[in-house]
């Protein structure tokens, strides 16, 4: 059985407030199915159903009252079949299925139809809604892989992962633009008459991706054809020279999905700095020397600027949180039917940033855990909404310390990075809708 | 006919083995034989079939689709009468024959009928099969007085069910306590008193010595103390024993049950046994024991299946631990491990009747058993604490005062 | 307004409006606009036509010329007939997608309302902008008057989309002198233009279309296997398309004449050249004043003629050689500068062309009309005099800056 959605507990963040339990009890109208208990070392622990891959509670049920759902992966409990033998509780070592005296039968977490009430209730970020790649595999495995099997991307680059996932989802009835950069550099558009993808794909200029796609889309709209139009651009083609056409297309509300894969520099051409390169970064044009200390200014934070354009949908994403990415891709595609949609995907570059190729996903995760990267989505109606809590981040040094391009940084520079991380979170919090921001 | 994997018995042990085999070997022909004419079901459900709460058609352990998905063949009405381990073959009651590469005996247990004078001449019931349950259900519809012989799990479940159906129920148990194999005397007493409060007559420490038919269905029973009881419905629930009959001359070693090692292998090559039929090493000594509970059948079935299919992930059996959960008249009880172990000889016992009942038995600061009534407990976590011999020293006092929370915290920490 | 597209009639308008009306008649699918002097009134007219429902194209108000052309490239790859117009700095800003268009073989039509280039800062007519991009692979044609602007914009679509050509076309009309000069013109009937142009079929060879998936413009060339041959193949066919344009455009002009009764010289117009001893060579709107000056000189008995270059890219070598073969001297008037040669670009091209001909003649180069300056009949009078002098063997040093003292 494939692994499925679970809720992860980050004990270090939990202060035992019990908000999750309150939220669960309220959502379910019964005793909470998540239990926070005092740990032996002064910290907190959690008992909750893990929706196991091979659930023993199901094996122990004589009545067929428990079943792991094939698609959702949720272990479902059926009240009308249950005979109250409680043998399921014998199978569970997580305290995930428990007799509730008030209800008179066992209870367990059902993931609230995919959006667990407890997770957002925890403003400490101690609960994380995880769904493993396995579930994505379940959803996407049957879809056609639109991408050439052999590629010349660097080892450990997460762009291939991202492109495959994205292309699988958007499928053949689409037009994809890949402006110059690592994405076509790895063979996406092909060489000498050979193509890298099964859908129509092209190299726009570094500068004009959004405008060209706008033109493509307009013609199909004129002809009454529903064609998905997507850009897979780097940060140079979005933040720097591509910015004008991006801004214009966003303002015009072209029905386009623009995905910026941000590796914070011109990595394909040899790791030069871009407008997106962050403070302190070593790059080949912001080198470290007697005087040079890497990039001296902060990076331009494009997703925030796109919010200012009032796009139909703006979101940030990380490949360490692929389920979150897919959810956003879904919304972005939908939004791109009526207006401009923008996805900003953070793409750490093992080659250019100098970290081991095997660490990419860990680096992605750490970016998010430190709030160096925040995951959120924005619509004009609902304002900004964090899709992963920003409370209680790890210190940014936990991230910076993993990356070779920051190796030369001293405490003062680290402090500055930490301060700008805080500042950005504060600024983003300001974009939340007043009613939610107040809470 | 030949199967790579042949499983006899279609209940928990067999089903779990089947699933485990298919995890490791998606191809090899897999055949399950059952003497039943019904599709697979769990005996545990039978009291609820009697009461009508469970619909016999819905209590299946494996749907047609499930077998198809697992590419397994289910053969019903196929009673095995002999096993020839040399020829790697089994013979069926109808004369048919199956050969195998690997055989699992998951034939479970059968009711024990105690030697009571005249019993063979009266109409009595047992409860192990769906047909048994349907017969009792039919009889209960017209009966007024029921006598249940035995206060083990089956007897207690049945007694409650029959009481619920409006019958006047008497339970006769020769031991002084109900459910004595799981609960300590105090817990047993609490359970018994609950039955009594609900109008069930509990005759403890008595033995039925004689039985005689009255009319067609009713009978009269004579007890060792001279008491005479009349019953329209007599249920014999005096325990179960492994179903071994077909093993005569097979060379498969048996004691009370089929003797197996920690991989559920029997004495003969190519033959495994699991569940109520098996006598596997007990915890912690390794002495063989028959531990006829459903979770145990599942656990053993999985190990047997993995070993049969050569699954490298197999982790050998850690030893049987008695364990049960029990709901009665809206109350709930749990017993794990040596919950009734008497104090002394290094065993420390702490009881708490503050809120419901809880009895904790520790040895060397390690949990060896726990019984509780009307207390929420995670039986699975307690089981693990016992099995892993988790040192409770550092959290001893907290564990004794808050066993639920402390056990959860220990486990949660262990899982992170 | 509707009758405007349904019946032929006479109207009075300037060159910008004439171009816009030609676009209406050509029924493009997508039009993208950004204003710049002296082109602005052209895109205003287009926008108004769209607003009035006279032109049913998608109108993209892009944020700059770079995106204007980019959006049109996208639309064209999706099968759209496309149009825009620009000038001077706008063309410079458009340059990146501009230079790419011919290589993609996108048959677009873009009017250049020509303007002199910065710096010195200026906003007036001159052909420096168009001449600067003469080596980019676009077809360039220059119009003499408002009617020719209208007719040529329509014909340009047919030229661009012709399967033997498949190249973008710049229809150039002089800023100020044609953009704002009003004259009476004839507006052809819409159905007749429809019959002339037919349905657009612009992306049969290269498309962004899910029904015909392909990689558009993958990396091509390099030293890998087949790379060089592949790149050469593309370049050669592009050059061939350019060469084909001369004959195709000539045929289109013939057809235009037959259908609409107006006969324009497609490549080079010879005016009073039959018995001329010498000729002046003009390009664009200056030709009108040039013809007046020639007429006046003829009155005086001068044997002078005029050669008007309409199609400048590809350069109509044979037509030029044939025309110049008839004279002993030529005075070439440029409205822009070739910085490499200390002469005008047209002058340079004529010189280069003559190398292929055994015929030798005296050439005098003139540069006039920069930054909105007028080239009057008097200026042409001087051109004629100096050319006559050259025909007699006394060749002045070129270039002669016509407005040097104005
Ligand atoms: C009324 C009742 C209540 C119970 N309540 C509980 C409870 O609350 N908690 C708990 O833990 N356990 C309970 N049990 C015990 C539990 O049901 C058993 O431990 C469990 O079913 C054992 O599973 P098994 O697969 O080993 O054997 P079984 O369930 O006994 O299945 C054996 C199967 O093998 C078949 N079979 C036997 N011999 C042959 C043969 N010769 N040829 C072909 N087929 C054959 C039988 O038909 C049967 O289908 C209860 C049992 C009963 C009867
Ligand atoms: S309590 Fe209900 S769900 Fe749990 S094992 Fe028993 S019947 Fe199944």
Task: Give me the pLDDT at residue C1, please.
Answer: 41
Q: How far apart are CA C234 and CA A147, in angstroms?
A: 26
Q: Burial level of A37, CB count in 10 A (0-12/13-18/19+)?
A: buried
Q: Are residues A148 and A57 in the same domain?
A: no
| DSSP sequence for B168-180 | EEEEEESSSSTTT
- CB of B267 closer than 8 Å to CB of B305: no
Terminal Cα-to-Cα distance of chain B (whole angstroms): 49
Say yes or no for a CB contact (<8 Å) between A9 and B416: yes
Say yes or no for a CB contact (<8 Å) between A62 and B326: no
Domain's final residue, options B183, B213, B238: B238
Q: What is the CATH number of the domain that holds A334?
A: 3.40.50.970
Q: Are residues A121 and A159 in the same domain?
A: no
Percent of chain A residues topping a pLDDT of 70: 96
- Does the structure show a pLDDT above 50 at C36? yes
Q: Give the count of domains, chain B.
A: 3
| A1 inside 8 A of chain B by CB | no
| B48 inside 8 A of chain A by CB | yes
Q: Are residues C335 and C186 in the same domain?
A: no
pLDDT digits (tens, 9 = 90+) for B277-322: 999 999 999 999 999 999 999 999 999 999 999 988 899 999 999 9
Q: Are residues A100 and A215 in the same domain?
A: no
Nearest CA to ligand 2 atom 7: A82
Q: Give the count of domains, chain A.
A: 2
| B391 inside 8 A of chain A by CB | no
Percent of chain B residues topping a pLDDT of 70: 99
Model ipTM value? 0.95
Task: Give me the pLDDT at residue A5, please.
Answer: 74
B85 is a domain residue: yes
pLDDT digits (tens, 9 = 90+) for B46-90: 999 999 999 988 878 989 999 999 999 999 999 999 999 999 999
Q: What is the CATH number of the domain that holds C154?
A: 3.40.50.970
Confirm or reject: Cβ of B242 under 6 Å from ligand 1.
no
**Rounded distance from Cα C106 to ligand 2 centre (Å):** 70
Parent domain of A58: 6-135
- Does the structure show a pLDDT above 60 at C135? yes
What is the CB neighbour count within 10 angstroms for residue B174?
A: 17
Q: How far apart are CA B127 and CA B148, in angstroms?
A: 11
Parent domain of C126: 3-204+250-257
Minimal CA separation from A346 to chain B, in Å = 28
C28 is a domain residue: yes
B322 is a domain residue: no
- CB of C85 closer than 8 Å to CB of C19: yes
Domain's final residue, options A83, A106, A135: A135
Confirm or reject: Cβ of B293 under 6 Å from ligand 1.
yes
User: For residue B278, which ligand has an atom nearest its CA?
Assistant: 1
Burial readout A123-133 (b: 16 or more C-beta within 10 A, e: otherwise): ebbbbbbbbbe
Q: Give the count of domains, chain C.
A: 2
Q: Averaged over C114-131, what is the pLDDT?
A: 96
Minimal CA separation from A424 to chain C, in Å = 29
Q: How far apart are CA B237 and CA B157, in angstroms?
A: 10
Domain's final residue, options B178, B205, B238: B238
Q: How far apart are CA B75 and CA B379, in angstroms?
A: 35
- Does the structure show a pLDDT above 60 at A1? no
A277 is a domain residue: yes
Q: Averaged over A37-59, what is the pLDDT?
A: 90
**Rounded distance from Cα A82 to ligand 2 centre (Å):** 5
Q: Are residues B230 and B250 in the same domain?
A: no
- Does the structure show a pLDDT above 60 at B44? yes
Q: Are residues A88 and A220 in the same domain?
A: no
Cis, bond preceding C331 (omega within 30 deg of 0): no
Consecutive H or E run containing A60: helix A56-60
pLDDT digits (tens, 9 = 90+) for B123-150: 999 999 999 999 999 999 999 999 999 9
B321 is a domain residue: no
B324 is a domain residue: no
Of A237, A218, A240, which Cα lies nearest the Cα of A227? A218
C286 is a domain residue: yes
A360 is a domain residue: yes
- Does the structure show a pLDDT above 60 at C6? no
A412 is a domain residue: yes
B248 is a domain residue: yes
**Rounded distance from Cα B15 to ligand 2 centre (Å):** 17
CB-CB neighbors (< 8 A) of A248 in chain C: 62-64, 67
Q: What is the CATH number of the domain that holds C374?
A: 3.40.50.920
Residue A166, CA atoms < 13 Å, CB-side half-sphere: 35
C215 is a domain residue: no
Confirm or reject: Cβ of B302 under 6 Å from ligand 1.
no
Q: Are residues B129 and B91 in the same domain?
A: no
Ligand 2 atom closest to Cα of residue A99: 1
C234 is a domain residue: no
> In which band, very low, low, confident or very high, does the pLDDT at B217 lie, cut at 50, 70 and 90?
confident
Task: Give me the pLDDT at residue A12, please.
Answer: 87
Say yes or no for a CB contact (<8 Å) between A56 and B380: yes
pLDDT digits (tens, 9 = 90+) for A109-168: 999 887 899 998 998 889 988 766 556 666 777 888 898 887 788 999 999 999 999 999
Q: Are residues C156 and C16 in the same domain?
A: yes
Say yes or no for a CB contact (<8 Å) between A184 and C212: no
Q: What is the CATH number of the domain that holds A57?
A: 3.30.70.20
Pick among A186, A202, A209 to test the C interface (most C CBs inside 10 A):
A202
Q: Are residues C17 and C147 in the same domain?
A: yes
Mutation to probe ligand 1, out of B38, B297, B320, B336 (largest number of atoms < 8 A from CB)? B297
A168 is a domain residue: yes
Q: Are residues B191 and B302 in the same domain?
A: no
Tokens of B65: 């689709």
Cα–Cα separations (whole angstroms), residue B358 to A35, A96, A330, B353 = 21, 21, 52, 6
Q: Are residues B350 and B284 in the same domain?
A: no
Q: Burial level of A250, CB count in 10 A (0-12/13-18/19+)?
A: buried
Q: Are residues B245 and B98 in the same domain?
A: yes
A1 is a domain residue: no
Ligand 2 atom closest to Cα of residue A106: 1
Task: Give me the pLDDT at residue A135, please.
Answer: 63
Q: Are residues C143 and C289 in the same domain?
A: no
Q: What is the CATH number of the domain that holds B247?
A: 3.50.50.60
Q: Are residues B153 and B212 in the same domain?
A: yes
Domain's final residue, options A106, A135, A164: A135
Of C111, C164, C169, which Cα lies nearest the Cα of C138? C169
Parent domain of B301: 2-44+52-109+241-308
Task: Give me the pLDDT at residue A70, please.
Answer: 79
Mean model confidence pLDDT for chain A: 92
Q: How far apart are CA A189 and CA A178, in angstroms?
A: 7
Q: Are residues B216 and B130 in the same domain?
A: yes
Q: How far apart are CA C157 and CA C196, in angstroms?
A: 10
Q: Are residues C279 and C387 in the same domain?
A: yes
Q: How far apart are CA B80 and CA B245, in angstroms?
A: 10
Task: Give me the pLDDT at residue A240, please.
Answer: 96
Q: Are residues B198 and B210 in the same domain?
A: yes
What 3-state DSSP class applies to B309?
Answer: coil
Q: Are residues A179 and A97 in the same domain?
A: no
Q: How much is the CA Rg of chain A, to the nearest whole Å?
A: 23
Task: Give me the pLDDT at residue B297, please.
Answer: 97
CB-CB neighbors (< 8 A) of A64 in chain B: 58-61
Nearest CA to ligand 1 atom 50: B44
Task: Give me the pLDDT at residue C5, please.
Answer: 43
- Does the structure show a pLDDT above 60 at B162? yes
Confirm or reject: Cβ of B297 under 6 Å from ligand 1.
yes
Percent of chain B residues topping a pLDDT of 90: 90
Q: How far apart are CA A201 and CA C209, in angstroms?
A: 9
- CB of C118 closer than 8 Å to CB of C147: no
Pick among C62, C200, C215, C224 to test the A interface (most A CBs inside 10 A):
C215
Q: How far apart are CA B265 and CA B253, in angstroms?
A: 11
pLDDT digits (tens, 9 = 90+) for B323-355: 999 999 989 999 999 999 999 999 999 999 988
Q: Are residues C155 and C294 in the same domain?
A: no
Q: Are residues B341 and B278 in the same domain?
A: no
- Does the structure show a pLDDT above 70 at A406? yes
Q: Are residues C45 and C143 in the same domain?
A: yes
How many contacts does A have with C, using Cβ atoms within 8 A?
Answer: 163
Task: Give me the pLDDT at residue C224, please.
Answer: 85
Q: Are residues B190 and B247 in the same domain?
A: no
Q: Are residues A98 and A158 in the same domain?
A: no
Task: Give me the pLDDT at residue A132, please.
Answer: 60
Q: Are residues B250 and B291 in the same domain?
A: yes
- Residues 200-259, chain C: which have Cβ within 8 Å of A? 207-210, 212-222, 224-227, 230
C contact chains, 3+ CB pairs < 8 A: A
pLDDT digits (tens, 9 = 90+) for A337-367: 999 999 999 999 999 999 999 999 999 999 9
Q: Are residues A313 and A431 in the same domain?
A: yes
pLDDT digits (tens, 9 = 90+) for C232-265: 999 999 999 999 999 999 999 999 999 999 999 9
Mean model confidence pLDDT for chain C: 96
pLDDT digits (tens, 9 = 90+) for B244-272: 999 988 999 999 999 999 999 999 999 99
Bridge partners for A262 per DSSP: A346
Domain's final residue, options C257, C292, C327: C257
Domain's final residue, options B189, B221, B238: B238
C334 is a domain residue: yes
Q: Are residues B104 and B250 in the same domain?
A: yes
Say yes or no for a CB contact (<8 Å) between C79 and A208: no
C3 or C313, higher pLDDT? C313
């Amino acid at each position: 059985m494939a692994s499925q959605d679970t809720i992860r507990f980050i004990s270090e963040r939990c202060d035992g407030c019990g908000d999750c339990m309150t939220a669960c009890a309220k959502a379910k109208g019964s005793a909470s199915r998540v239990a926070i208990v005092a740990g032996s070392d002064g910290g907190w622990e959690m008992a909750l159903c893990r929706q196991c891959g091979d659930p023993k509670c199901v094996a122990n049920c004589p009545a067929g009252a428990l079943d792991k759902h094939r698609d959702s992966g949720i272990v479902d409990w059926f009240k009308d079949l249950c005979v109250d033998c409680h043998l399921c509780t014998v199978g569970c070592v997580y305290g995930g299925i428990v007799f509730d005296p008030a209800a008179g039968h066992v209870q367990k977490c059902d993931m609230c139809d995919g959006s667990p009430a407890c997770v957002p209730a925890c403003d400490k970020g101690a609960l994380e809604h995880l769904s493993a790649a396995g579930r994505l595999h379940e959803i996407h495995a049957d879809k056609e892989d639109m991408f050439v099997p052999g590629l010349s991307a660097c080892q450990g680059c997460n762009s291939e992962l991202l492109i495959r996932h994205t292309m699988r989802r958007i499928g053949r009835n689409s037009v994809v633009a890949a402006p110059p950069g690592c994405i076509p550099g790895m063979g996406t558009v092909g060489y000498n008459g050979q193509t890298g993808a099964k859908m129509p794909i092209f190299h726009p200029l570094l500068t004009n991706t959004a405008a060209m796609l706008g033109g493509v889309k307009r013609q199909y709209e004129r002809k009454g054809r529903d064609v998905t139009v997507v850009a897979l651009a780097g940060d140079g083609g979005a933040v720097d020279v591509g910015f004008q056409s991006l801004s214009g297309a966003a303002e015009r509300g072209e029905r386009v999905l623009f995905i910026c894969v941000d590796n914070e520099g011109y990595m394909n051409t040899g790791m030069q700095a871009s407008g997106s390169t962050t403070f302190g970064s070593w790059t080949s044009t912001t080198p470290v020397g007697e005087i040079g200390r890497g990039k001296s200014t902060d990076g331009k934070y494009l997703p925030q600027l796109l919010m200012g354009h009032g796009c139909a949908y703006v979101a940030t994403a990380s490949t360490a949180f692929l389920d979150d990415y897919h959810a956003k891709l879904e919304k972005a595609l939908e939004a791109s039917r009526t207006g401009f949609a923008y996805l900003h995907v953070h793409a750490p570059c093992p080659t250019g940033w100098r970290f081991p190729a095997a660490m990419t996903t860990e680096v992605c995760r750490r970016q998010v855990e430190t709030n160096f990267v925040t995951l959120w989505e924005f619509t004009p109606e609902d304002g900004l909404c964090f899709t992963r809590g920003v409370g209680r981040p790890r210190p940014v040094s936990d991230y910076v310390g993993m990356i070779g391009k920051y190796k030369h940084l001293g405490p003062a520079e680290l402090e500055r990075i930490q301060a700008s991380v805080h500042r950005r979170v504060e600024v983003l919090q300001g974009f939340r809708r007043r009613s939610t921001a107040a809470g | 006919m030949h199967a790579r994997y042949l499983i006899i018995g279609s209940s928990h042990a067999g089903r779990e083995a089947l699933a485990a085999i298919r995890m490791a070997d998606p191809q090899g022909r897999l055949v399950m034989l059952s003497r039943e004419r019904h599709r697979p079901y769990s005996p545990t459900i039978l009291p609820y079939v009697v009461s009508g709460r469970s619909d016999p058609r819905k209590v299946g352990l494996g749907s047609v689709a499930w077998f198809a998905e697992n590419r397994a063949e289910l053969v019903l009405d196929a009673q095995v009468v002999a096993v020839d381990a040399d020829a790697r073959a089994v013979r069926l009651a109808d004369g048919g024959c199956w050969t195998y590469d690997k055989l699992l005996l998951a034939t479970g247990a059968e009711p024990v009928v105690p030697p009571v004078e005249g019993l063979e001449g009266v109409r009595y019931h047992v409860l192990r099969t769906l047909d048994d349950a349907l017969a009792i259900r039919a009889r209960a519809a017209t009966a007024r007085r029921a006598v249940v012989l035995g206060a083990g799990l089956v007897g207690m479940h049945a007694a409650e069910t029959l009481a619920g159906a409006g019958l006047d129920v008497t339970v006769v148990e020769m031991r002084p306590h109900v459910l004595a194999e799981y609960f300590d005397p105090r817990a047993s007493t609490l359970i018994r008193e609950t039955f009594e409060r609900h109008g069930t007559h509990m005759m403890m420490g008595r033995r039925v010595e004689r039985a005689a038919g009255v009319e067609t269905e009713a009978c009269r029973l004579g007890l060792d103390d001279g008491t005479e009881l009349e019953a329209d419905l007599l249920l014999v629930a005096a325990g179960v024993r492994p179903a071994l009959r077909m093993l005569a001359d097979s060379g498969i070693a048996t004691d009370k049950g089929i003797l197996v090692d920690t991989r559920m292998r029997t004495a003969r090559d190519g033959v495994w046994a699991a569940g109520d039929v098996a006598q596997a090493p007990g915890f912690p000594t390794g002495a063989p024991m028959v531990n006829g509970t459903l979770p145990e059948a599942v656990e053993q079935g999985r190990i047997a299946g993995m070993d049969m299919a050569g699954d490298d992930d197999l982790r050998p059996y850690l030893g049987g631990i008695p364990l049960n959960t029990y709901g009665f008249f809206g109350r709930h009880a749990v017993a794990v491990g040596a919950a009734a172990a008497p104090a002394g000889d290094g065993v420390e016992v702490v009881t708490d009747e503050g809120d419901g009942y809880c009895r904790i038995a520790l040895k060397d600061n390690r949990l060896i058993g726990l019984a509780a009534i009307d207390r929420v407990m995670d039986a699975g976590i307690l089981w693990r604490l016992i099995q892993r011999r988790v040192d409770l020293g550092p959290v001893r006092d907290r564990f004794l005062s808050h066993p639920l929370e402390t056990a959860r915290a220990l486990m949660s920490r262990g899982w992170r | 307004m509707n009758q405007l597209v349904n019946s032929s009639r006479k109207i009075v308008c300037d060159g910008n409006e004439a171009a816009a009306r030609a676009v209406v008649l050509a029924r493009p699918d997508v039009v993208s606009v950004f204003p710049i002097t002296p082109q602005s009134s052209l895109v205003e007219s287009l926008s108004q036509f769209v607003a009035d429902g006279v032109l049913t194209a998608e109108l993209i108000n892009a944020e700059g010329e770079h995106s204007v052309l980019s959006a049109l490239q996208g639309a064209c790859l999706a099968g759209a007939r496309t149009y825009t117009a620009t000038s001077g700095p706008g063309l410079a800003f458009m340059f990146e997608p501009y230079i790419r268009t011919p290589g993609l073989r996108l048959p677009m039509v873009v009017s250049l309302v020509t303007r002199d280039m910065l710096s010195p800062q200026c906003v007036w007519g001159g052909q420096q902008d168009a001449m600067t991009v003469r080596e980019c692979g676009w077809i360039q044609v220059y119009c003499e008057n408002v009617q020719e602007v209208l007719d040529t914009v329509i014909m340009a679509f047919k030229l661009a989309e012709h399967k033997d050509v498949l190249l973008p076309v710049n229809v150039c009309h002089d800023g100020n002198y044609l953009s704002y000069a009003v004259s009476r013109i004839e507006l052809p009937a819409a159905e007749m233009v429809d019959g002339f142009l037919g349905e657009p079929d612009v992306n049969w060879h290269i498309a962004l279309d899910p029904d015909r998936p392909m990689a558009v413009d993958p990396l091509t060339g390099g030293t890998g296997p087949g790379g060089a041959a592949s790149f050469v193949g593309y370049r050669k066919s592009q050059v061939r398309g350019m060469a084909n344009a001369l004959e195709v455009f000539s045929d289109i002009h013939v057809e235009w004449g037959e259908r609409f009764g107006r006969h324009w010289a497609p490549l080079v117009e010879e005016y009073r050249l039959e018995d001329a001893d010498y000729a002046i060579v003009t390009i664009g709107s200056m030709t009108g004043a040039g013809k007046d000056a020639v007429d006046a000189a003829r009155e005086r008995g001068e044997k002078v003629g005029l050669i008007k270059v309409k199609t400048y890219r590809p350069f109509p070598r044979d037509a030029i050689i044939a025309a110049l073969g008839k004279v002993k001297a030529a005075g070439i008037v440029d409205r822009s500068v070739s910085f490499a040669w200390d002469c005008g670009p047209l002058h340079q091209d004529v010189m280069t062309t003559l190398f292929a001909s055994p015929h030798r003649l005296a050439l005098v180069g003139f540069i006039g009309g920069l930054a909105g300056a007028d080239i009057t009949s008097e200026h042409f009078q001087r051109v004629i005099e100096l050319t006559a002098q050259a025909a007699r063997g006394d060749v002045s040093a070129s270039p002669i800056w016509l407005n040097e003292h104005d």
